[in-house]
Structure 1
Amino acid sequence: MIRAGVRAILSSADDMEIVAEAGDGHEAVELGLKHRPDVCLLDVRMPRVDGLRAAEELRRVLPEAAVVMLTTFSEDEYIASALGSGAAGFVLKSGDPRELVAGVRAAAEGGAYLSPTVARRVLTHFASGQLGRRSAARARVGELTAREREVLALVGAGLSNAEIARRLHVVEGTVKAYVSRILARLGLRNRVQAAILAYEAGLVREE
C-alpha cells in the first residue's frame, strides 16, 4: 500500500521514471546495482535489511546514485543515522506529497533536501551546540581556498549547482568540480554534510 502511494505520487511528475521496486533493503541494493538509477528512495523500516543499512551499502557500491530516505519517524536518531549514512534527503511520509517529489528531484540534480519538519530539528540540534563546534568547523574550512569557501557557503544556503554557477558567473561544470574537490578535501560524503559544516562554520548568512 505504501509503495502504491509512493508510485502514484512520483508517477505524477513528468520528469521521473520508476525503474524498479524493492520489497526489502537487500533487494533494494540488488536492484540498484542492476538498474543504476539516479536516485534510490528507501524507507527507514524495511524487511531483512533496514533502509539505513541499505543506504550505507548503496553509497558504497553505487556512489553515483543519490539516496533519499522516507519514513514516518522523525526521531533525532533516525535523522542522524540517515544523514551519517550519506543520504541526500530525508522526507516524512506525513508531509506534503510535493515534498517527496521535491526531495527526489533535488537529489537527482545533485542537491539535498530535508522536509521542513526535519530541517527545523536539524537546525535546532546543531544550533544548540553551535558555539562549541564553530571553532573546529572554521579550522576545517580554513583549509579551503577563498573560492572554495564561497562555493561551500552557497551549498550551505541550499543552492543547486546551476544556481551557484549563475551566482558566480561560471559554467556548471566548474561548480561541480569545486563541489567534488571540497567534499574530498574535507572528507565529506555529500552536500548535506557540506551544508551542515558550512552552517557550523558560520559561512551561511541568515536572511
Structure 2
Amino acid sequence: SGPDDRLGDFYCEAAIRACANNTEDQGQGPATRVYRRVVETPPGAWEPRGVTCYPNLVGDDAGPQLTMAMIIEAFHDTPFAKPEVSSQPEGNTTLVTLPTYYRVDFADGYGPDQVDTTDLLGFTVDIRPRLDSITYHYGDGASLGPTTDLGGVYPSGSVVHEYAQSGDFDAHAVVSYGGEFRVNGGDWNDIPGTATITGNPTTITVMESSARLVNGD
C-alpha cells in the first residue's frame, strides 16, 4: 500500500488524537504517513518513511486536511453560556453575618453537555462543552473555588458566604470549560486546553439589622 491508495473523504480519529497534545512547534497533525519512491519509468515502489505531525510540509496531493488546530479554534469560537450568580435570601439582599446561599445558572449559549455543530472542510464537527470548574467571587475580596459545585438554596446548598459589613457588592462567577469533539457522528474525543468565561456581575445588597427593646406597656 501507499499514497496511491485513495479512501475518498476519509477521516481517521486516531490520526487526530496522535498529535492532539502537541504544541504548534511540535505539529498538531493530523498524523500522516510519509512514503517515498524513486522517480523513474515505470515508477518505483513506495517505501514507508515514518509518520509526521506536519502534513502541510509533506505535500498537498491529499487536499485540505482537518486538523486539531482547526477543531481547537472552533472550540474557542463556541458561543459559550455565561454563568449567572443568584443568591438567597431572595432578591439578592442579605444581612451582615447572615449565611448567604449562592448558585450558578447558565444564560443563553452552549453550556455544559450541550452540543454546538459546525462544518469544517465538509466534515460535520460536534463540539460539546464540559464544565471543568467554577470560581465564585463574592465582591468583597473573598472567593471560593475552583470547584464543580453549582451551589443551591437553603438549607442544602453548599456554596455559602457571610459578609462582614454592609454595602453593595458585585458578585460573579468564572467558569473554565473543557470540551469534547466528534466528527461525522463518530466517537467523542477530548479537546486540548480550556476556555475561561466570566459571568456578568450580580449586585448583592448587604444590610445591617439591629435589635431594639420595646416597652410592652
TM-score class normalised by the smaller sequence: under 0.3
> TM (normalized to structure 1)?
0.18
More strand by share: 2
> TM (normalized to structure 2)?
0.18
Higher normalized contact order (CA 8 Å, seq sep 6+, divided by chain length): 2
| Greater Rg by CA | 2
